[in-house]
Amino acid sequence: MKPLLVYDETFRPAEAWVADLAYLTGDAVRYCPQNELHDKFPEATWEVPAEDRKSVVHYLDEHGTLFRGAAAIFEVLSLAPRRGWLTRLYYRVPPFADACDNLFEAISIRRKGFSALYGMLWGHREDPITHHYTHWFFLRMFAFVILIAFASLWYQIDGLAGDNGIAPAAAMLAMTAEAYPDDHTRAIPTLMWLFPFESMLTILCAAGVLCAVLALAGFLMPLAFLGAGICYLSLINVCGPFLRFQWDILLIEMCVLAVFFSAWRFRAGPNARIAPSVAIRFLLRWLLFRICFSSGIVKLGDTTWTDLRAFDFHFWTQPLPHLGSWYAHQMPDWAQPWAIAGLFFVYLVVPFFFFAPRRLRSIAGQLTIALQLAIIATGNHGFFNLLILTLCISLFDDLQLTKFLSNRARTSVMPPTIRVKPIFLRHVVTLAVFAVIFPASLYLLILTSGWQPLVPERARNAVSFLYENRVVSTYGLYATMSTQRPEIIIEGTRDGVKWEPYVFRWKPGPLDRAPRWAQPHMPRLDWQLAYAALGTEAGNPWFTSFLVRLLENEPSVTRLLDENPFEDEPPIRVRAQLYTYAFVEPDEHETTGNYWVRSPAGIYSPEMELGWQTP
C-alpha cells in the first residue's frame, strides 16, 4: 500500500505544507484532505480516529502504522531526497523531537491564531515554494551585467592601460618582473603574464564578453562565470587606479558564488530540472546584506549624514551626476531629512529581513529595489546598482516572481512539478564554499562596523588571502559626504596665449550643458578625475601621465574625451585649473540656461610641455 498523508483542509497552513511535501516526495506519497478521504479513495477502510482529529496531519505508512503531528511530517520527509537527515534528527535527538511535538500540539490547539500569523509572515498558498525560475533569472541577469562591464571597459582599455595609454599595463608588469624576479606572478596575479603586451588587454575583454554570452545562453555556466571572474581579476590587477572600485570587486565576488550556483552540465535551459544550492543562495543574500548594511554603518561616522543634511550636497558633489540629479537637488528642504532617514532605514534595518519569512523578505526586497532605482534615477554609478538589483532576485521565490508572467510563459520557464535528483558531490562542494566564505566575510563585516574581534593569526592570514584575491571584500559607498565640488578643467594652447579647454563626455564642464546619463556604462577616466580633484597631482601620478598623452595627442586617450580642441595639431602646453562647481538655482537656470555655477579655486597642475619641463 502506498503511504497516505491526511490533513485538515480547514487549516490554511496545512495546504502549504502539503504542497511542499508533495513537491519533495513526488508520487511516493498520496495526499488527501481529511473530509475528502472516502471520495478520493473509496477503497480506503481507514479513518482518522475521533480522539486524534484535533491533530493537523495524520500519516499512514505502507505497513499500516499511523503517525500524527510532527511524527507524521518527519516520516514523510524520510521519503524525500536529501531530507532523511531530518527524520534521523527527530528520532535520535529527544530534545529536538520533544520541541517539535510540543510545537505541533500548540499549533493544533491554537489553529486560528497560528493560521493568521502564518498568513502574515509566509502568505497562504496552495503551490510549493521553489527557486527554479529565480535561479534561472538571477544567473542570466548577472551574465548580462558581466557583458555590460566587459563591453564598457573594452572601449576604454587601450586609452587607460594600453602601451600608449595613461597607465600602461605592460610597463607596470615589466617593472614588477624586475623588482620580483622569482615571485612576480604572486605580486600581481594576472593572465597578462602569459602575453604581457597591449593586445592581451583586448583578448581579456573579448574573452570576458564571450564568457558572458555563454552564460546568457546557458552553456557551460560554471566555467563561463569562472572565466569571466579570472579575466576581470586579471584586468583589475593591471589597470592601476581605474578598476579598483567597489563594483569591480563586487563583480568578482559574485562570479565566485555564481560558479557554484550554476548547473554543472553542458547546457541549462529555462526549464532545466536543477536544484539551486541553498547554501549559495544564503551567501547571495548574505552578500546583499553586507553591501546594504555596510553602506549604512559607514555613514554613521559622518555628521553630515547623521545630521540628515547630506542631500544638501550629495546630488551635485557625487562623481558623475546626471539630469535626474539636478531635479533631485530641487527637493523641498523639509523632505530631505525624511529621505535620508528612509535611506538609513533601508540600509540598517531592512537588511535583517533578508533572512525573515518569505512575505517579510519579499517586502525587504521590494524596499531595497526601490532604493536602488532611486539611486539610478539620481546619479551615474555604472553597473553597480544593476549588480545589487541582481542580488535582490535571490530574496524572492518562484511564486513571487512568476506572478508577473503569463500562464504560458510561467509553464515554459518553470515546470509545475519537479522531482530533483540530488548530486552529492555538488552538495559537499557548496557546503565547503559556505564554510570558507561565510566566516571570512563575517569577520570583514565586523571590522567595517568598527570592532576588533580576537581571531587567531592563521585565520587572519586566510582572510587576507581571500581579500587580496577578491573572493570576499568590504563595502560602503559615500562614507564621507563632500560639501564642495572641486572640478579639474584641463586646457591647452598652441601659442601660449589662447587657452582652450578639453571637454569630457560625462563629467561637468560647460556650464550650460545638462549633466548626462552614462549608466550602465562606467566612464573610468571621468570618474577617476572626480576623485583626483579632491586630492593633489602628487597624490595622483597617473594624472601627469594623462597630461603627457594630451600633449602627444594620443588617439587612444583623446577618444575618451567629448571634444579635443587640438585634433589636427597637438598643443605645445597644457595646464589644469581647479574650479568649484555647484548646481544653479531653478530661477537662475530659467534666466541663463546654465545648470552649473563655478568659481576659480586655484591651480591643480601648472603649465606643462613635453620633456616634463615647466616653463
| DSSP code for 613 | B
Q: pLDDT value at position 420?
A: 45
Whether 157 and 189 share a structural domain: yes
H/E run at residue 409 = helix 407-413
Angle at 585 between CA 579 and CA 589, to 5 degrees: 90
Whether 266 and 287 share a structural domain: no
46 by Cβ neighbours in 10 Å (0-12 / 13-18 / 19+) ranks as middle
Angle at 20 between CA 14 and CA 26, to 5 degrees: 120
The beta strands (E) that lie in 226-357 are given as: none
Domain boundary at 121, 141, 175, which? 121
Whether 548 and 472 share a structural domain: no
Q: pLDDT value at position 111?
A: 84
Whether 347 and 281 share a structural domain: yes
C-beta of residue 575 within 8 angstroms of C-beta of residue 608: yes
Closest by Cα among 337, 340, 334, 333 to 374 = 340
C-beta of residue 118 within 8 angstroms of C-beta of residue 106: no
Q: pLDDT value at position 405?
A: 65
Whether 76 and 13 share a structural domain: yes
**246-261 helix and 278-297 helix, angle to the nearest 10 degrees:** 160
Q: pLDDT value at position 418?
A: 45
- DSSP 3-state of 59: strand
Residue 396 lies in a domain: no
Residue 342 lies in a domain: yes
Residue 392 lies in a domain: no
Whether 251 and 192 share a structural domain: yes
Residue 389 lies in a domain: no
Whether 492 and 475 share a structural domain: no
Closest by Cα among 226, 11, 200, 210 to 107 = 11
Whether 180 and 307 share a structural domain: no
Whether 188 and 267 share a structural domain: yes
C-beta of residue 505 within 8 angstroms of C-beta of residue 563: no
> In which domain, by residue range, is 172 found?
130-276+417-421
Whether 433 and 516 share a structural domain: no
Q: Any idea how long the chain is? A: 615
Residue 411 lies in a domain: no
Cell numbers at 536, concatenated: 593633489
Rounded Cα gap, residues 56 and 114, in angstroms: 12
Rounded Cα gap, residues 561 and 506, in angstroms: 9
**Low-confidence stretches of the chain (pLDDT beneath 70):** 42-54, 269-274, 404-423, 612-615
* Count of domains forming the chain: 4
Rounded Cα gap, residues 469 and 456, in angstroms: 20
C-beta of residue 290 within 8 angstroms of C-beta of residue 475: yes
Domain boundary at 421, 450, 472, which? 421
CB contact set of 582 (below 8 Å; sequence gap of 6+): 316, 485, 596, 597, 598
Domain boundary at 121, 154, 169, which? 121
Closest by Cα among 267, 195, 260 to 435 = 260
Whether 244 and 141 share a structural domain: yes
Residue 387 lies in a domain: no
Residue 412 lies in a domain: no
Q: pLDDT value at position 381?
A: 94
Q: How far is CA 583 from CA 224, 258, 315, 323, in A?
A: 44, 42, 9, 11
Whether 492 and 533 share a structural domain: yes
Q: pLDDT value at position 46?
A: 60
H/E run at residue 4 = strand 4-7
Give the number of other CB atoms < 10 A from CB of residue 371. Answer: 20
Q: pLDDT value at position 573?
A: 93
C-beta of residue 389 within 8 angstroms of C-beta of residue 399: no
Residue 615 lies in a domain: no
Rounded Cα gap, residues 533 and 241, in angstroms: 14
H/E run at residue 269 = none
